[in-house]
Amino acid sequence: MKSWLFTTLHRMYLQGRRRDTRYPHYELEQAESELPCVSPPQINQLDSVNVIEALACLDEAFQAPVSMFYLEDYPYKEIARILEVPMGTVKSRIARGIAQLHKLLTSPAVTGSGEPKAV
């Protein structure tokens, strides 16, 4: 029993050390230079109207899952049932749609009127 306990404790210690090495803890002041810089005009630019317009520019395969999940608060299972696709496909389309939406909203390809250009 004693050897099992020491082995278990040793493995827990090693696991903790690996986690600390992989995910080091930094104070906010230490990592401040690595944080993204968001200017006030960018914040004002990303209002809901621009997001909805950008959502309209997404590929059709991503529009429905993204809007159903984020705008209409449907769970993955319900979206999969409505679209008649597997739940993994729904998760994948949402992730890819959000990546595409992020690219549209952060790229300098926004026209002067605030409407994103089609990609």
Residue 8 confidence class, pLDDT cut points 50, 70, 90: very high
What is the set of domains in the chain, with CATH numbers?
Answer: 40-119 (1.10.10.10)
pLDDT value at residue 119: 44
Residue 115 DSSP code: P
Closest CA to 58 of 21, 11, 101, 112: 101
* Mean of per-residue pLDDT scores for the chain: 84
* Residue 31 Cα to chain centre, angstroms: 21
Q: What is the per-residue pLDDT across 67-116, written as a single tens digit (0 to 9) for each?
A: 999 889 999 999 999 999 999 999 999 999 999 998 888 876 554 445 55
Please say if the pLDDT value at position 35 is more than 80. no
What's the CA gap between 45 and 24, in Å, rounded?
A: 34
- Comparing 66 with 41, which gets the higher pLDDT? 66
